[in-house]
């Protein structure tokens, strides 16, 4: 019988809007934390309007779509932090919270009066996680940026792509989600464990630059050892080698090969009837010829035909699935990584599943993305405010 969720009872205030912060709090919410999204009342203005693609015409918040996994397992309070009542409400919430996650530019939280130094006086056990591009220190701390800028500065972009071509932009996966969101979740979990030992909260400074650089730990270690700068598209694991590569197939799809170990490489040569290359795995002079021959052979059969043949021959291989194919893949279905969830209206939506599989205290999807301010009244009642307070502040525009 499953026990309580691992983060049950942990209250988190989420002031984030763009990818890394919501990804962090989604992970924590999936693991049972009570996430309260603190959102601005009304329509986006200024830069928020630009980011949301809105102007004077009201548009639905994409984050409120039931299909948006980043907003699941969260409640929403619409709060104007620049108003007196809004700040008072937030301070009371922060006194009772375990964690705050924000992604303001450095200095903004202090100008609003909701920074760690202010909040920790009232709540010494508070863990305050700030996610930014370049961090809270250093000459770049105040610069604006996005994923592409951070992975470029971190050195990651220089390693991704084909030889003789511009680097390949890997969506916004590395800095936003891995370097930012996942590292923020790790930082919060570590701080919660430390608080269990010390009784004190602390400040968690997450820079997407730092997180991306940590993803390069092996590449940087190799460089510091031999002082050779890798040239993209020439290395064994970046498309330079014919035995660790991707190939077009007869049906216009793609099969991937990862036969690094000599025994897997030997299996590949035999399956392709290319035994003449058995002794040439790391003979770089032969790689262009091997690549051309492998490509010609792979075009003779469909992707799925090759998959069946290669897996039976104990060869490292994978079908390149497009997003519309994922939910039909047997392994993805077995791992529950595409799930169907019912909306309050009784409709069904599909979302990505929960990646961390805990045997005794599993995570879960308990609710879908909330409407703006959907839980304002309930949260304020829990804080001890009266219906009269709520009505007055709503009339003043401090809440919604």
| 55 contacts 369 by C-beta, under 8 angstroms | no
**Residue 159 tokens, joined:** 């390693």
The Cα-based distances of 109 to 7, 83, 251, 368 in angstroms read 26, 14, 54, 28
- Residues 388 and 379 sit within 8 Å (Cβ to Cβ): no
DSSP per-residue string spanning 190-221: HHHHHHHHHS---EEEEEHHHHHHHHTHHHHH
Which structure tokens are listed for 69?
């996994």
146 catalytic per annotation: yes
User: Which residues are CB-contacts of 153 (< 8 A; sequence separation ≥ 6)?
Assistant: 134, 140, 209
How many CB atoms are closer than 10 A to CB 208? 34
Determine the Cα–Cα distance for residues 46 and 142; give it in Å rounded to an integer: 19
Cβ proximity of 126 and 119 under 8 Å: yes
User: Of the residues 146, 329, 377, 389, which is catalytic?
Assistant: 146
Where are any strands of DSSP class E within the chain? 11-14, 34-39, 74-78, 99-102, 127-132, 203-207, 244-248, 254-258, 317-319, 338-342, 348-352
The residue annotated as part of the active site, out of 176, 183, 238, 280, is 176
* 176: annotated active-site residue: yes
Three-class DSSP category at 35: strand
Distance CA 43, CA 357 (A): 38
List residues with catalytic annotation: 146, 176
């Amino acid at each position: 019988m499953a026990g309580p969720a691992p983060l049950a009872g942990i209250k988190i205030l989420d002031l984030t809007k763009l990818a890394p912060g919501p990804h962090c709090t989604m992970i924590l919410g999936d693991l049972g934390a009570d996430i309260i999204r603190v959102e601005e009342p009304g329509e986006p203005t200024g830069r928020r309007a630009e980011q949301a693609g809105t102007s004077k015409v009201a548009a639905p918040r994409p984050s409120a779509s039931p299909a948006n996994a980043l907003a699941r397992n969260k409640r929403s309070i619409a709060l104007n932090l620049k108003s007196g009542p809004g700040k008072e409400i937030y301070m009371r919430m922060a006194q009772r919270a375990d964690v705050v996650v924000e992604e303001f530019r450095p200095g903004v939280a202090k100008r609003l009066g909701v920074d760690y130094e202010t909040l920790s006086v009232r709540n010494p056990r508070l863990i305050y996680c700030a996610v930014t591009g370049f961090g809270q220190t250093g000459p770049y701390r105040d610069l604006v940026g996005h994923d592409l800028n951070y992975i470029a500065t971190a050195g990651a972009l220089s390693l991704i792509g084909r030889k003789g071509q511009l680097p390949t932009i890997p969506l916004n996966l590395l800095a936003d989600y891995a370097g930012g969101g996942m590292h923020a979740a790790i930082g919060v979990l570590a701080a919660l464990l430390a608080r269990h030992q010390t009784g004190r909260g602390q400040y968690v400074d997450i820079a997407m630059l730092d997180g991306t650089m940590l993803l390069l730990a092996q590449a940087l270690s190799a460089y510091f050892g031999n002082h050779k700068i890798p040239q993209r598209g020439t290395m064994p694991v970046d498309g330079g080698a014919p035995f660790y590569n991707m190939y077009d197939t007869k049906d216009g799809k793609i099969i991937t090969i990862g036969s690094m170990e000599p025994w897997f490489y030997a299996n590949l040569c035999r399956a392709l009837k290319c035994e003449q290359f058995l002794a040439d795995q790391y003979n770089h002079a032969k790689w262009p010829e091997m690549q051309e021959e492998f490509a010609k052979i792979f075009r003779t059969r469909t992707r799925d035909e090759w998959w069946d043949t290669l897996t039976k021959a104990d060869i490292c291989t994978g079908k390149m699935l497009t997003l519309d194919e994922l939910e039909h893949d047997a392994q993805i279905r077995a791992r529950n990584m595409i799930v169907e969830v019912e909306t309050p209206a009784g409709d069904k939506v599909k979302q990505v599943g929960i990646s961390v599989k805990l045997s005794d205290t599993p995570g879960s999807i308990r609710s879908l993305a909330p409407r703006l301010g959907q839980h304002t009244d309930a949260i304020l009642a829990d804080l001890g405010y009266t219906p009269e307070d709520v009505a007055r502040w709503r009339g003043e525009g401090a809440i919604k």
